[in-house]
């Protein structure tokens, strides 16, 4: 539970909450929806600040409104918008509600048609605050840290042009664990396990767990498989001989090219990313809806399996 927020689950939300409404202004529906949300919040006695900007400008300047930190961030868009918002908030995270204007959305879990229901649940205290692991990625060159990035989904080391395999040596708390020969490696949080990690064949890890997932891309050795380990350890990747186009990518952003003997350190960050979940939305419902986990069972059979009856 972030110390900056006055939101408390199972209790009515106090009047006068500071709310920041965030969205990419390239999407046609964002401006109109943001205006409606601001008006709705104002009628309920809350103060809403709009942060609508092109995606390329997110993360520039201070996120929280003047006069004090926000209590809640409402994000319009998709999972990419939420990732950028988490980065924009930096080390002053507050709870997030995501309304999906895209096509998938694991983090932006609510449909825009659910705005009224979600706001009513938040106002009445019928919600949960679920904390998620964030990480810091540090690139060390010639023994000197050259950058540090805060992330939510994953750090990826990619072989890049000329698209030959590279070696990556993984150290855990200073001890060598393994050497990968591969096209790259994804170091994912549980939140990121349904993103690039899932596309690469990695496992889905419950998003409120504290763990890192290591998924190699096209490993040369068949025994190199995904590994899940505790988030309390310090992980370091040595890149002995990168390709000309090898790069370190954090949450989909190329943060630096890689040079010979670079070390990339990944560890748990102090801030936690917090999502608001309501009584009608939970982890497995999201997976069922987004991944179409129907299994061929129709709704009637599903109700019977849960002990339910007719209509």
- Six-digit token pair at 255? 């943060």
User: Which CB contacts under 8 angstroms, 24+ apart, belong to 67-71?
Assistant: 68/18, 69/4, 69/18, 69/94, 70/4, 70/18, 70/19, 70/20, 70/94, 71/4, 71/5, 71/6, 71/7, 71/17, 71/18, 71/19, 71/95
Beta bridge partners of 309: none
User: Residue 31: phi, psi to the nearest 5?
Assistant: -60, -45
Q: What are the start-end ranges of the E strands in the chain?
A: 18-24, 47-53, 72-77, 96-100, 110-111, 127-132, 135-141, 144-151, 154-158, 166-172, 175-182, 184-188, 211-217, 227-230, 235-239, 247-250, 253-257, 262-268, 273-278
Give the list of residues 6+ apart from residue 302 with CB closer than 8 angstroms, or none: none
- Residue count of the chain, please give it: 311
For the CA atoms of 92, 94, 97, 101, the dihedral, rounded to the nearest 10 degrees, stands at -10
Q: How far, in Å, CA of 71 to CA of 48, rounded?
A: 10
Count CB-CB contacts under 10 A for residue 111.
14
- The yes-or-no answer on residue 79 being catalytic is yes
Active-site residue, from 71, 79, 121, 183: 79
Known catalytic residues are 79
């Amino acid at each position: 539970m972030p110390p900056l927020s006055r939101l408390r689950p199972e209790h009515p939300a106090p009047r006068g909450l500071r709310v920041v409404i965030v969205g990419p202004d390239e999407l046609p529906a964002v401006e109109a929806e943001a205006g409606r949300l601001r008006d709705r919040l104002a009628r309920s006695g809350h103060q809403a600040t709009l942060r609508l900007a092109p995606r390329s400008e997110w993360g520039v300047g201070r996120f929280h409104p003047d006069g004090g930190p926000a209590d809640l961030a409402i994000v319009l868009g998709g999972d990419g918008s939420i990732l950028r918002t988490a980065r924009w908030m930096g080390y002053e995270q507050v709870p997030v509600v995501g309304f999906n204007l895209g096509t998938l959305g694991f983090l932006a879990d609510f449909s825009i048609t659910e705005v009224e229901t979600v706001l009513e649940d938040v106002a009445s205290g019928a919600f949960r605050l679920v904390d998620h692991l964030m990480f810091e990625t540090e690139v060390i060159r010639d023994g000197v840290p050259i950058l540090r990035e805060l992330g939510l989904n994953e750090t990826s080391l990619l072989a890049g042009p000329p698209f030959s395999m590279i070696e990556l040596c993984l150290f855990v708390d200073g001890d060598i664990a393994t050497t990968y020969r591969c096209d790259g490696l994804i170091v994912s949080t549980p939140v990121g396990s349904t993103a690039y990690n899932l596309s690469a064949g990695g496992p889905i890890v419950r998003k409120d767990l504290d763990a890192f997932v290591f998924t190699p891309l096209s490993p040369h050795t068949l025994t190199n498989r995904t590994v899940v380990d505790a988030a309390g350890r310090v992980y370091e990747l040595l890149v002995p001989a990168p390709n000309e186009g090898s790069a370190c990518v954090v949450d989909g952003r190329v943060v630096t090219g890689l040079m010979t003997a670079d070390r990339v350190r990944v560890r748990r960050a102090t801030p936690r990313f917090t999502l608001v979940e309501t009584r009608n939305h939970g982890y497995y419902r999201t997976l069922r809806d987004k991944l179409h986990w129907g299994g061929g069972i129709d709704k009637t059979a599903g109700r019977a399996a849960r002990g339910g009856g007719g209509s």
